[in-house]
Protein backbone atom coordinates (compact mmCIF):
# COMPACT_ATOMS: atom_id res chain seq x y z
CA UNK A 1 0.00 0.00 0.00
CA UNK A 2 1.66 3.17 -1.10
CA UNK A 3 1.09 6.62 0.32
CA UNK A 4 -1.46 7.56 -2.29
CA UNK A 5 -3.60 4.52 -1.65
CA UNK A 6 -3.58 5.16 2.07
CA UNK A 7 -4.63 8.75 1.48
CA UNK A 8 -7.48 7.60 -0.72
CA UNK A 9 -8.68 5.29 2.00
CA UNK A 10 -8.55 8.10 4.55
CA UNK A 11 -10.63 10.30 2.30
CA UNK A 12 -13.11 7.53 1.67
CA UNK A 13 -13.36 7.05 5.41
CA UNK A 14 -14.22 10.68 6.21
CA UNK A 15 -16.57 11.01 3.27
CA UNK A 16 -18.39 7.76 4.07
CA UNK A 17 -17.46 6.09 0.82
CA UNK A 18 -15.56 3.24 2.39
CA UNK A 19 -16.71 -0.35 1.92
CA UNK A 20 -16.59 -2.92 4.71
CA UNK A 21 -13.66 -4.71 3.13
CA UNK A 22 -11.80 -1.47 2.69
CA UNK A 23 -12.57 -0.52 6.29
CA UNK A 24 -10.79 -3.58 7.56
CA UNK A 25 -7.74 -2.78 5.48
CA UNK A 26 -7.95 0.81 6.66
CA UNK A 27 -8.07 -0.06 10.34
CA UNK A 28 -5.02 -2.24 9.81
CA UNK A 29 -3.14 0.64 8.22
CA UNK A 30 -3.94 2.93 11.11
CA UNK A 31 -2.78 0.35 13.62
CA UNK A 32 0.45 -0.15 11.69
CA UNK A 33 2.15 3.18 12.05
CA UNK A 34 2.00 6.59 13.65
CA UNK A 35 2.66 8.09 10.25
CA UNK A 36 -0.56 6.64 8.92
CA UNK A 37 -2.50 7.90 11.90
CA UNK A 38 -1.07 11.38 11.36
CA UNK A 39 -2.10 11.29 7.73
CA UNK A 40 -5.61 10.46 8.82
CA UNK A 41 -5.61 13.31 11.33
CA UNK A 42 -4.62 15.74 8.61
CA UNK A 43 -7.41 14.57 6.38
CA UNK A 44 -9.89 14.79 9.22
CA UNK A 45 -8.81 18.37 9.90
CA UNK A 46 -9.37 19.40 6.33
CA UNK A 47 -12.74 17.70 6.31
CA UNK A 48 -13.76 19.47 9.50
CA UNK A 49 -12.51 22.83 8.24
CA UNK A 50 -14.64 22.58 5.15
CA UNK A 51 -17.92 22.05 6.92
CA UNK A 52 -20.52 23.46 4.57
CA UNK A 53 -22.44 26.57 5.50
CA UNK A 54 -26.05 26.09 6.36
CA UNK A 55 -28.14 26.71 3.33
CA UNK A 56 -30.95 29.18 3.95
CA UNK A 57 -34.58 28.17 3.59
CA UNK A 58 -35.50 27.35 0.06
CA UNK A 59 -38.58 28.58 -1.66
CA UNK A 60 -41.20 25.91 -1.89
CA UNK A 61 -41.38 23.78 -5.00
CA UNK A 62 -44.85 24.87 -6.01
CA UNK A 63 -44.12 28.57 -6.35
CA UNK A 64 -40.87 27.84 -8.16
CA UNK A 65 -42.72 25.60 -10.55
CA UNK A 66 -45.40 28.22 -11.11
CA UNK A 67 -42.81 30.81 -12.05
CA UNK A 68 -41.25 28.42 -14.53
CA UNK A 69 -44.46 27.29 -16.17
CA UNK A 70 -45.62 30.87 -16.44
CA UNK A 71 -42.43 31.76 -18.22
CA UNK A 72 -42.83 28.83 -20.58
CA UNK A 73 -46.45 29.74 -21.26
CA UNK A 74 -45.56 33.34 -22.10
CA UNK A 75 -42.72 32.35 -24.37
CA UNK A 76 -44.90 29.86 -26.24
CA UNK A 77 -47.51 32.55 -26.67
CA UNK A 78 -44.85 34.81 -28.19
CA UNK A 79 -43.81 32.07 -30.55
CA UNK A 80 -47.37 31.46 -31.71
CA UNK A 81 -47.75 35.12 -32.57
CA UNK A 82 -44.58 35.05 -34.60
CA UNK A 83 -45.71 31.92 -36.44
CA UNK A 84 -49.10 33.43 -37.26
CA UNK A 85 -47.65 36.64 -38.58
CA UNK A 86 -45.15 34.68 -40.64
CA UNK A 87 -47.97 32.65 -42.15
CA UNK A 88 -49.88 35.80 -42.93
CA UNK A 89 -46.87 37.33 -44.60
CA UNK A 90 -46.35 34.24 -46.74
CA UNK A 91 -49.97 34.14 -47.76
CA UNK A 92 -49.85 37.77 -48.80
CA UNK A 93 -46.81 37.04 -50.95
CA UNK A 94 -48.76 34.21 -52.55
CA UNK A 95 -51.68 36.49 -53.38
CA UNK A 96 -49.46 38.95 -55.15
CA UNK A 97 -47.86 36.36 -57.35
CA UNK A 98 -51.24 35.33 -58.79
CA UNK A 99 -51.60 36.53 -62.35
CA UNK A 100 -53.85 39.52 -62.48
CA UNK A 101 -56.98 38.43 -64.31
CA UNK A 102 -59.90 40.81 -64.53
CA UNK A 103 -62.29 38.05 -63.54
CA UNK A 104 -60.41 37.41 -60.41
CA UNK A 105 -59.80 41.03 -59.61
CA UNK A 106 -63.11 41.46 -57.83
CA UNK A 107 -62.73 38.41 -55.60
CA UNK A 108 -59.15 39.20 -54.73
CA UNK A 109 -60.05 42.66 -53.61
CA UNK A 110 -62.74 41.22 -51.36
CA UNK A 111 -60.30 38.70 -49.89
CA UNK A 112 -57.70 41.38 -49.29
CA UNK A 113 -60.14 43.65 -47.58
CA UNK A 114 -61.29 40.85 -45.32
CA UNK A 115 -57.72 40.34 -44.29
CA UNK A 116 -57.28 44.02 -43.80
CA UNK A 117 -60.24 44.08 -41.44
CA UNK A 118 -58.94 41.15 -39.45
CA UNK A 119 -55.50 42.67 -39.23
CA UNK A 120 -56.90 46.01 -38.25
CA UNK A 121 -59.16 44.68 -35.52
CA UNK A 122 -56.54 42.39 -34.08
CA UNK A 123 -54.13 45.29 -33.82
CA UNK A 124 -56.63 47.07 -31.59
CA UNK A 125 -56.17 44.38 -28.98
CA UNK A 126 -53.36 45.25 -26.65
CA UNK A 127 -50.62 42.71 -26.66
CA UNK A 128 -48.76 41.63 -23.60
CA UNK A 129 -45.09 42.44 -23.76
CA UNK A 130 -42.55 40.72 -21.61
CA UNK A 131 -38.94 41.73 -21.30
CA UNK A 132 -36.49 39.67 -19.34
CA UNK A 133 -32.81 39.69 -18.70
CA UNK A 134 -30.40 36.81 -18.46
CA UNK A 135 -27.36 36.37 -16.25
CA UNK A 136 -25.49 39.59 -15.66
CA UNK A 137 -27.49 41.30 -18.34
CA UNK A 138 -28.95 44.77 -17.94
CA UNK A 139 -31.66 46.08 -20.20
CA UNK A 140 -33.26 49.42 -20.68
CA UNK A 141 -36.91 49.25 -21.67
CA UNK A 142 -39.05 52.02 -23.15
CA UNK A 143 -42.56 51.90 -21.79
CA UNK A 144 -45.63 52.95 -23.78
CA UNK A 145 -45.99 56.26 -21.95
CA UNK A 146 -42.39 57.32 -22.43
CA UNK A 147 -41.21 56.10 -19.03
CA UNK A 148 -38.22 53.79 -18.80
CA UNK A 149 -37.41 50.72 -16.80
CA UNK A 150 -33.80 49.67 -16.32
CA UNK A 151 -33.63 45.98 -15.54
CA UNK A 152 -31.00 44.30 -13.46
CA UNK A 153 -29.96 40.76 -14.36
CA UNK A 154 -32.39 37.84 -14.18
CA UNK A 155 -35.43 40.07 -13.92
CA UNK A 156 -38.52 40.42 -15.97
CA UNK A 157 -41.28 42.92 -16.50
CA UNK A 158 -44.58 42.50 -18.28
CA UNK A 159 -46.94 45.18 -19.55
CA UNK A 160 -49.47 45.76 -22.33
CA UNK A 161 -48.04 47.57 -25.31
CA UNK A 162 -50.71 50.24 -25.10
CA UNK A 163 -51.38 51.31 -21.50
CA UNK A 164 -55.00 51.44 -20.37
CA UNK A 165 -56.89 54.70 -20.35
CA UNK A 166 -56.88 55.18 -16.64
CA UNK A 167 -53.95 53.19 -15.42
CA UNK A 168 -50.34 52.36 -16.34
CA UNK A 169 -49.62 48.88 -15.08
CA UNK A 170 -46.37 46.88 -14.91
CA UNK A 171 -45.64 43.47 -13.43
CA UNK A 172 -42.18 43.00 -12.04
CA UNK A 173 -40.17 40.06 -10.88
CA UNK A 174 -36.59 40.79 -9.88
CA UNK A 175 -35.12 44.26 -9.85
CA UNK A 176 -35.59 47.36 -11.92
CA UNK A 177 -35.08 51.07 -11.65
CA UNK A 178 -38.02 53.09 -12.96
CA UNK A 179 -38.03 56.59 -14.37
CA UNK A 180 -41.68 57.51 -14.67
CA UNK A 181 -43.10 60.33 -16.72
CA UNK A 182 -45.47 62.51 -14.74
CA UNK A 183 -49.08 62.05 -15.79
CA UNK A 184 -52.51 62.03 -14.27
CA UNK A 185 -52.77 58.28 -14.83
CA UNK A 186 -51.26 56.39 -11.88
CA UNK A 187 -48.27 54.18 -12.69
CA UNK A 188 -48.43 50.90 -10.79
CA UNK A 189 -45.69 48.33 -10.40
CA UNK A 190 -47.02 45.00 -9.14
CA UNK A 191 -44.80 42.37 -7.67
CA UNK A 192 -45.68 39.01 -6.19
CA UNK A 193 -46.73 40.48 -2.90
CA UNK A 194 -46.94 44.24 -3.21
CA UNK A 195 -47.71 47.18 -5.39
CA UNK A 196 -45.99 50.50 -5.83
CA UNK A 197 -48.06 53.46 -7.02
CA UNK A 198 -46.64 56.70 -8.39
CA UNK A 199 -47.59 59.61 -10.59
CA UNK A 200 -44.15 60.61 -11.81
CA UNK A 201 -40.86 59.90 -10.11
CA UNK A 202 -37.65 57.77 -9.97
CA UNK A 203 -37.43 54.73 -7.78
CA UNK A 204 -35.95 51.29 -7.43
CA UNK A 205 -37.97 48.17 -6.79
CA UNK A 206 -36.45 44.93 -5.65
CA UNK A 207 -38.91 42.06 -5.56
CA UNK A 208 -37.67 38.58 -4.80
CA UNK A 209 -37.97 35.99 -2.06
CA UNK A 210 -41.36 37.01 -0.66
CA UNK A 211 -40.12 40.58 -0.18
CA UNK A 212 -40.54 43.80 -2.02
CA UNK A 213 -38.16 46.61 -1.19
CA UNK A 214 -38.48 50.10 -2.57
CA UNK A 215 -35.96 52.93 -2.53
CA UNK A 216 -37.05 56.33 -3.78
CA UNK A 217 -34.55 58.39 -5.63
CA UNK A 218 -36.82 61.30 -6.48
CA UNK A 219 -40.42 62.18 -5.82
CA UNK A 220 -42.93 60.21 -3.84
CA UNK A 221 -44.27 56.69 -4.09
CA UNK A 222 -46.96 54.72 -2.34
CA UNK A 223 -45.97 51.22 -1.26
CA UNK A 224 -48.58 48.76 -0.06
CA UNK A 225 -49.86 45.21 -0.18
CA UNK A 226 -51.85 44.19 -3.21
CA UNK A 227 -54.96 45.57 -1.60
CA UNK A 228 -55.07 48.14 1.14
CA UNK A 229 -53.78 51.59 1.76
CA UNK A 230 -50.04 51.43 1.91
CA UNK A 231 -47.54 54.03 3.07
CA UNK A 232 -45.92 56.97 1.39
CA UNK A 233 -42.22 57.06 0.74
CA UNK A 234 -40.32 60.21 -0.13
CA UNK A 235 -36.98 60.89 -1.67
CA UNK A 236 -34.16 59.01 -0.01
CA UNK A 237 -36.44 56.60 1.81
CA UNK A 238 -36.55 52.83 1.84
CA UNK A 239 -39.16 50.37 2.97
CA UNK A 240 -39.67 46.64 2.61
CA UNK A 241 -42.83 44.55 2.40
CA UNK A 242 -42.80 40.89 3.28
CA UNK A 243 -45.72 38.85 1.98
CA UNK A 244 -48.92 39.45 3.89
CA UNK A 245 -47.34 41.95 6.21
CA UNK A 246 -47.58 45.70 6.19
CA UNK A 247 -44.74 47.74 4.84
CA UNK A 248 -41.94 48.53 7.27
CA UNK A 249 -41.44 52.03 8.63
CA UNK A 250 -39.58 54.07 6.06
CA UNK A 251 -35.91 54.63 6.79
CA UNK A 252 -33.72 57.36 5.43
CA UNK A 253 -30.95 56.08 3.20
CA UNK A 254 -28.48 57.27 0.65
CA UNK A 255 -30.40 56.18 -2.44
CA UNK A 256 -27.48 56.46 -4.85
CA UNK A 257 -25.33 54.29 -2.70
CA UNK A 258 -28.01 51.69 -2.22
CA UNK A 259 -28.58 51.35 -5.91
CA UNK A 260 -25.12 49.76 -6.08
CA UNK A 261 -25.83 47.80 -2.93
CA UNK A 262 -28.81 46.14 -4.58
CA UNK A 263 -26.35 44.56 -6.97
CA UNK A 264 -24.61 43.04 -4.01
CA UNK A 265 -21.56 44.88 -5.10
CA UNK A 266 -19.55 47.64 -3.61
CA UNK A 267 -18.74 49.92 -6.45
CA UNK A 268 -16.12 52.63 -6.22
CA UNK A 269 -15.46 54.98 -9.03
CA UNK A 270 -12.52 57.27 -8.39
CA UNK A 271 -13.43 57.40 -4.75
CA UNK A 272 -11.02 58.78 -2.25
CA UNK A 273 -9.81 56.45 0.43
CA UNK A 274 -11.88 58.07 3.12
CA UNK A 275 -15.00 57.81 0.99
CA UNK A 276 -14.24 54.15 0.53
CA UNK A 277 -13.74 53.78 4.24
CA UNK A 278 -17.10 55.43 5.02
CA UNK A 279 -18.90 53.10 2.68
CA UNK A 280 -17.17 50.05 4.11
CA UNK A 281 -18.13 51.24 7.57
CA UNK A 282 -21.75 51.42 6.54
CA UNK A 283 -21.78 48.18 4.60
CA UNK A 284 -20.06 46.08 7.25
CA UNK A 285 -21.06 48.02 10.34
CA UNK A 286 -17.49 48.54 11.45
CA UNK A 287 -15.35 51.50 12.34
CA UNK A 288 -12.34 52.35 10.21
CA UNK A 289 -9.68 54.87 11.13
CA UNK A 290 -7.17 56.11 8.60
CA UNK A 291 -4.01 56.92 10.49
CA UNK A 292 -2.06 58.81 7.91
CA UNK A 293 -3.69 61.98 6.60
CA UNK A 294 -1.81 61.89 3.34
CA UNK A 295 -3.48 58.58 2.49
CA UNK A 296 -6.86 60.22 2.32
CA UNK A 297 -6.14 61.68 -1.09
CA UNK A 298 -5.54 58.33 -2.74
CA UNK A 299 -8.20 57.32 -5.20
CA UNK A 300 -9.75 53.93 -5.88
CA UNK A 301 -11.79 52.43 -8.63
CA UNK A 302 -13.02 48.93 -8.21
CA UNK A 303 -15.78 46.51 -7.47
CA UNK A 304 -16.00 44.11 -4.60
CA UNK A 305 -18.12 41.10 -4.14
CA UNK A 306 -16.48 39.73 -1.03
CA UNK A 307 -18.27 38.71 2.07
CA UNK A 308 -15.58 39.56 4.59
CA UNK A 309 -14.32 43.02 5.54
CA UNK A 310 -10.81 41.69 6.09
CA UNK A 311 -10.65 40.48 2.50
CA UNK A 312 -11.65 43.84 1.13
CA UNK A 313 -9.20 45.68 3.36
CA UNK A 314 -6.49 43.25 2.40
CA UNK A 315 -7.07 43.89 -1.29
CA UNK A 316 -7.01 47.62 -0.83
CA UNK A 317 -3.93 47.56 1.32
CA UNK A 318 -2.08 45.28 -1.03
CA UNK A 319 -2.59 47.59 -3.96
CA UNK A 320 -1.82 50.74 -2.10
CA UNK A 321 1.09 49.55 -0.03
CA UNK A 322 -0.79 49.97 3.17
CA UNK A 323 -1.57 47.74 6.02
CA UNK A 324 -4.42 47.40 8.40
CA UNK A 325 -4.79 46.26 11.94
CA UNK A 326 -7.72 45.46 14.17
CA UNK A 327 -7.40 47.18 17.50
CA UNK A 328 -9.97 48.08 20.16
CA UNK A 329 -12.87 47.27 17.86
CA UNK A 330 -11.54 49.51 15.09
CA UNK A 331 -9.76 48.83 11.85
CA UNK A 332 -6.70 51.02 11.52
CA UNK A 333 -5.25 51.69 8.13
CA UNK A 334 -1.70 52.96 7.89
CA UNK A 335 1.17 53.08 5.51
CA UNK A 336 3.46 50.06 5.59
CA UNK A 337 6.64 51.91 4.79
Partner 1 sequence: MFPSNNTETGDEQLVEAIRKNDQEAFRDLYYKYFEKLIRFAWYRLHSIETSRDLVQELFFRVWKKREGLNPQKSIKAYLYKSLNNLIINHFKLSSSQTSSLITLDERKTKMEEAQDIVIDIQTAINHLPEKLKTVFIHSRTEGFKYAEIAEICNISVKAVEKRMSKAFVLLKKYLD
**Footprint of partner 1 on this chain (CB under 8 A)?**
4, 7-8, 11-12, 15-17, 42-43, 45-47, 49-50, 52-53, 55-56, 58-59, 61, 64-65, 67-69, 71-72, 75, 134-136, 154, 208-209, 264-265, 270, 298-308, 310-312, 314-316, 318-320
Closest CB to partner 1 among 174 and 250? 174
Residue 208 in contact with residue 190, Cβ under 8 Å? Answer: no
- Those residues whose C-beta lies under 8 Å from the C-beta of residue 54, and which sit 6 or more positions away, are none
Q: In the bound complex, what is the minimum distance in angstroms from residue 130's beta carbon to partner 1?
A: 13
Q: Is 241 helix (H, G, I), strand (E, B) or coil?
A: strand
Closest CB to partner 1 among 52 and 102? 52
- Those residues whose C-beta lies under 8 Å from the C-beta of residue 292, and which sit 6 or more positions away, are 334, 335
* Cα→Cα distances 197→202, 214, 265, Å: 12, 11, 28
Q: In the bound complex, what is the minimum distance in angstroms from residue 301's beta carbon to partner 1?
A: 5
Closest CA to 305 of 265, 269, 278, 276: 265
Q: Tell me how far apart the alpha carbons of residues 248 and 238 are, in angstroms, rounded to a whole number.
A: 9
Q: In the bound complex, what is the minimum distance in angstroms from residue 273's beta carbon to partner 1?
A: 11
Q: In the bound complex, what is the minimum distance in angstroms from residue 286's beta carbon to partner 1?
A: 16
Closest CA to 257 of 283, 219, 291, 223: 283
Closest CA to 193 of 156, 230, 228, 225: 225
Closest CB to partner 1 among 234 and 319? 319
* Cα→Cα distances 219→110, 178, 196, 246, 268, Å: 55, 12, 13, 22, 26
**How many other β-carbons are positioned within 10 Å of the β-carbon of residue 29?**
19
Q: For residues 21, 23, 24 and 30, what is the CA-based torsion angle, rounded to 10 degrees?
A: 150
Q: In the bound complex, what is the minimum distance in angstroms from residue 307's beta carbon to partner 1?
A: 7
Q: In the bound complex, what is the minimum distance in angstroms from residue 214's beta carbon to partner 1?
A: 17
Q: Tell me how far apart the alpha carbons of residues 263 and 177 are, in angstroms, rounded to a whole number.
A: 12
Closest CB to partner 1 among 196 and 316? 316
Q: For residues 98, 99, 102 and 107, what is the CA-based torsion angle, rounded to 10 degrees?
A: -10
Residue 108 in contact with residue 101, Cβ under 8 Å? Answer: no
Q: In the bound complex, what is the minimum distance in angstroms from residue 236's beta carbon to partner 1?
A: 25
Q: In the bound complex, what is the minimum distance in angstroms from residue 218's beta carbon to partner 1?
A: 27
Closest CB to partner 1 among 124 and 297? 297
Pairing of the two strands 288-290 and 330-335: parallel
Closest CB to partner 1 among 293 and 307? 307
Q: In the bound complex, what is the minimum distance in angstroms from residue 51's beta carbon to partner 1?
A: 8
Amino acid sequence: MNDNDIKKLCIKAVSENISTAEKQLFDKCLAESEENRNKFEEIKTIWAATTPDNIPELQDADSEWNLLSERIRLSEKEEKKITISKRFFNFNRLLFTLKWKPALAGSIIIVLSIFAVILFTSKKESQLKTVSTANQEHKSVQLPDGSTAYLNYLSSIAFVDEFDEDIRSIKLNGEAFFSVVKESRPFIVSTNNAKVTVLGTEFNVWARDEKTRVVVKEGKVNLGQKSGKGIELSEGELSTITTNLNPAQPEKVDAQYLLGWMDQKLVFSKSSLDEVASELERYYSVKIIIEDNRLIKKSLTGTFKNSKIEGVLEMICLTMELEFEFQDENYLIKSNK
